[in-house]
């Protein structure tokens, strides 16, 4: 929901339209063969290191794609290169739009970055220069999911037990991980806990893909328990330049309180600016506090990283010009991700561990 002014109604429509629009059954066979095709394309492409030995060309299994990717991705280290941070909103619908990525396109994105030799890390890991999840000669990629829509993370009830909906963003991620065992649960979720149209910890009522309100905190905790990073994004996506310092801090602090309700004591280190818009008092984007007038309790916040909405691949944390309070991202719009990744390869400016 990084929609700009007047986009609320559009997003509501999109969110509604996306719910249930995609079939429950993933076309696994198609995706698998596409994996092979993609990997072969990449392996013979810009990397120029794919012609080693007898490759399983013609094979279409996920593991052969992985083998090819490992060779294709084995590049010389470049710790000053750029890191793509991919920004997603709603996963679903029947057509790609500014804030909607179809299930098929999302799957393709995963296959594409995998075949190019990228492996996922979180923003926090990037800050800490923690690249242990990236094999030598491969590259980090950061997936960031904004706005906490039900399309990103849905449950379905099956004979009284809860399962992750395989057609929601997290379900697709887990399917992908199952087919690619060296793909880890590393992504950053920048969540709203009081947004409109179900953008409230992944759906706050049955209108949003049948998501019950009482599942909200459980989902947030599941993410933290399973390797993902929790990130702040304000209470209801306020355009921060329009408000007083007090309201800015309330918006951010109440979001952090919500996350704390799900995972007590969790230190939120990353914050994504709604619409990429800074508050008038810029530093309130990374630290501040708010006192609840009803309880007298003060909630403070202090972030290590602030995410912009756009700006292209991010600087490396080893780059002297790296500014953790203004980290750029690539929006998942049209073919933008593919073009940016192509450019990183063509210009040899990609971060390689
Ligand atoms: Zn947003």
The CA 272 to ligand 1 mean position distance, Å, reads 7
Helices (H), ranges, 44-102 = 62-72
Residue-wise pLDDT for 81-139, tens only, equals 999 999 999 999 999 999 999 999 999 999 999 999 999 999 999 999 999 999 999 99
The CA 191 to ligand 1 mean position distance, Å, reads 8
The CA 170 to ligand 1 mean position distance, Å, reads 18
Domain span at 340: 8-20+76-346
**Does 211 reside within a domain?**
yes
DSSP state, residue 304: S
Burial of 283 (0-12, 13-18, 19+ CB in 10 A): exposed
Helices (H), ranges, the chain = 8-18, 28-43, 62-72, 103-115, 123-127, 169-179, 216-225, 245-262, 336-346
The CA 70 to ligand 1 mean position distance, Å, reads 34
What does the CA dihedral 192, 198, 204, 206 come to, rounded to 10 degrees? -160
* pTM over cut 0.85: no
| Positive/negative CA dihedral, 198, 309, 164, 226 | negative
**Does 63 reside within a domain?**
no
Q: How far is CA 47 from CA 39, 117, 316, 333, 337, in A?
A: 12, 10, 21, 25, 18
- Distance, CA of 163 to CA of 211 (rounded, Å): 12
| Three-state secondary-structure class, residue 48 | coil
**Does 13 reside within a domain?**
yes
Residue written as token pair 């403070």:
300
**Does 307 reside within a domain?**
yes
**Does 55 reside within a domain?**
no
The CA 181 to ligand 1 mean position distance, Å, reads 30
The CA 147 to ligand 1 mean position distance, Å, reads 5
pLDDT of 58 > 60? The answer is no
| Three-state secondary-structure class, residue 238 | coil
The CA 136 to ligand 1 mean position distance, Å, reads 33
Residue-wise pLDDT for 194-245, tens only, equals 999 999 999 999 999 999 999 999 999 999 999 999 999 999 999 999 999 9
**Does 158 reside within a domain?**
yes
Taking ligand 1, which is a single-atom ion, which protein residues have CB atoms under 5 Å away? 1-2, 146-147
CB neighbour list of residue 110: distance below 8 Å, 6 or more residues apart: 172, 173, 176, 183
**Does 257 reside within a domain?**
yes
Output the domain CATH number for residue 164: 3.20.20.370
Mean pLDDT value across the chain: 84
pLDDT of 63 > 70? The answer is no
The CA 298 to ligand 1 mean position distance, Å, reads 25
**Does 336 reside within a domain?**
yes
Name the phi and psi angles at 308, rounded to 5.
-80, 175
CB neighbour list of residue 210: distance below 8 Å, 6 or more residues apart: 154, 156
Task: Tell me how many domains the chain contains.
Answer: 1
At 160, is the pLDDT very low, low, confident or very high (cuts 50, 70, 90)?
A: confident
- Distance, CA of 220 to CA of 217 (rounded, Å): 5
pLDDT of 164 > 90? The answer is yes
Region 297-301 average pLDDT: 97
Q: Which residues pair with 120 in a beta bridge?
A: 141
The CA 238 to ligand 1 mean position distance, Å, reads 9
The CA 87 to ligand 1 mean position distance, Å, reads 10
pLDDT of 323 > 90? The answer is yes
């Amino acid at each position: 929901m990084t929609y700009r002014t007047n986009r609320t109604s559009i997003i509501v429509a999109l969110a509604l339209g996306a719910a249930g629009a995609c079939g429950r059954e993933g076309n696994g066979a198609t995706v698998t063969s596409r994996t092979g095709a993609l990997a072969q394309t990449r392996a013979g492409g810009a990397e120029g290191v794919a012609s080693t030995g007898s490759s399983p060309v013609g094979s279409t299994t996920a593991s052969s794609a992985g083998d090819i990717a490992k060779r294709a991705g084995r590049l010389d280290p470049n710790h000053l290169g750029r890191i793509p941070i991919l920004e997603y909103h709603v996963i679903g619908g029947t057509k790609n739009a500014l804030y909607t990525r179809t299930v098929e396109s999302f799957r393709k994105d995963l296959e594409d970055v995998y075949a190019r030799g990228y492996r996922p890390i979180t923003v926090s890991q990037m800050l800490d220069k923690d690249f242990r999840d990236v094999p030598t000669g491969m590259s980090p990629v950061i997936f960031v999911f904004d706005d906490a829509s039900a399309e990103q993370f849905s449950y379905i009830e099956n004979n009284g037990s809860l399962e992750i909906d395989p057609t929601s963003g997290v379900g697709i991620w887990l399917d992908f991980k199952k087919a690619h065992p060296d793909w880890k649960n590393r992504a950053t979720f920048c969540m709203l806990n009081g947004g409109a149209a179900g953008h409230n910890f992944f759906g706050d009522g049955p209108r949003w893909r049948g998501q019950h309100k009482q599942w909200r905190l459980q989902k947030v905790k599941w993410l933290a328990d399973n390797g993902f990073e929790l990130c702040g994004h304000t209470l209801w996506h306020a355009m921060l330049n329009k408000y007083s310092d007090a309201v800015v801090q309330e918006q951010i602090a109440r979001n952090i309180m919500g996350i704390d309700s799900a995972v007590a004591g969790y230190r939120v280190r990353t914050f994504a600016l709604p619409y990429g818009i800074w508050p008038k008092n810029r530093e309130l984007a990374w630290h501040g506090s708010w006192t609840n007038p009803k309880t007298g309790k003060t909630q403070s916040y202090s972030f290590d990283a602030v995410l912009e909405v756009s700006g292209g691949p991010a600087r490396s944390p080893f780059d002297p010009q790296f500014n953790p309070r203004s980290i750029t991202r690539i929006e998942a719009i049209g073919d933008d991700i593919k073009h940016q990744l192509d450019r990183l390869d063509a210009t040899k400016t990609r971060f390689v561990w």
